[in-house]
Amino acid sequence: MKTLHYTYTAHTDGQTVESLLKEHGYSKSLINRIKLTSDGLLLCGEKVYTTRKLMAGDILSVTFSEDVSSEHIIPVPMPLSILYEDDDLMVINKAANVPIHPSQGHFDNSLANGLAWYFENRQEPFVFRAINRLDRDTTGLLIIARHALSGCILSDMVKQHKIHRTYLAAVTGDLSGAPEGTITVPIARVPGSTIERMADPLHGESAITHYRLISYSHETDSSLLEIRLETGRTHQIRVHMKYIGHPLYGDFLYNPDYRYLNRQSLHSWKLSFPHPITGIPLHFTAPLPADMKQFLPSLPHTAPFCI
């Protein structure tokens, strides 16, 4: 059960309860659910309809709860690297070879299964809400919403580009000649494929990727890149790096080169976003995983950041 309080501070009266809730990120479906909750909406301690108009100084109390866990997610014990947790969200450092959602062939080894076990042991209901997507083989930072409201607000932040994501990628070849760049090539689905994507300037959706060279390794003939996304197309980094002739290692779709590791060499390194309820800025970093440290031998000791 979660209760939040909102003080109506407008200089003029007249905003409805529903309008105020939408202003604070509540979706229409969540508002309808709260309306069916006993004492879900209280104005100065009294039950109120969503059509009620507010007056300056009114205090609206909103209560909602989740009593039923996600169906069809089997609780399975697995190690979880939880970097942050409060009543509203979690930030997890996802391991390699862990899909996010259960799917065909992965009914009981997904992150959702591990979280279902985690909350079952705490005797808490659990509804799985992953905010940012990571491929099965991509490691690093992932946001999980703890309840419906934080899920609404965080999902809206993704659409408004308020969640800033930075990745580390090891790609083939030497990018010292072009240490910074922006790739602005649209991406589309490969005809006849359900998962594979391709660069398609004519028919694709807009996709923008910024990269910066961190180091070049002569030992592996690879460049370690810092990558920032402005858009979130499926396989965006993998497709864009292949497009410029420097694909990721270990990528079964776009460059099945497994000399150095048996997964795609991509890591969700940094996340920053405002807390969905308090608005406080949050910043997280996930260290480079062990299997990607082999791409670091040429990293200068004077690098202005820590990996």
What is the DSSP pairing of strand 266-274 with strand 139-145? parallel
Distances from the Cα of 117 to the Cα of 43, 82, 89, 92, angstroms: 38, 14, 17, 15
CA distance 188 to 160: 22
CA proximity to 83, closest of 265, 271, 266, 307: 271
Six-digit token string for 96: 């390699």
Distances from the Cα of 179 to the Cα of 61, 75, 120, 188, angstroms: 53, 45, 48, 27
Q: Which of 58, 135, 137, 251 is the catalytic position?
A: 135
Maximum pairwise Cα distance, the chain: 70
Instruction: State phi, psi for 129 to the nearest 5 degrees.
Output: -135, 90
DSSP annotation of 106 reads B
CA distance 73 to 44: 40
Q: What's the per-residue H, E or C state across 123-191?
A: CCCCCCCECCCCCCCCEEEEEEECCHHHHHHHHHHHHCCCCEEEEEEEEECCCCCCCEEEECCCEEECC
Mark whether 135 is an active-site residue: yes
- Rounded to 10 degrees, the C-alpha dihedral 18/2/73/270 comes to 90
**Residues, the chain, total?**
307
Q: What's the per-residue H, E or C state across 234-294?
A: CCHHHHHHHHCCCCECCECCCECCCCCCCCCCEEEEEEEEECCCCCCEEEEECCCCHHHHH
8 Å CB contact between 291 and 261:
yes
Residues known to be catalytic: 135
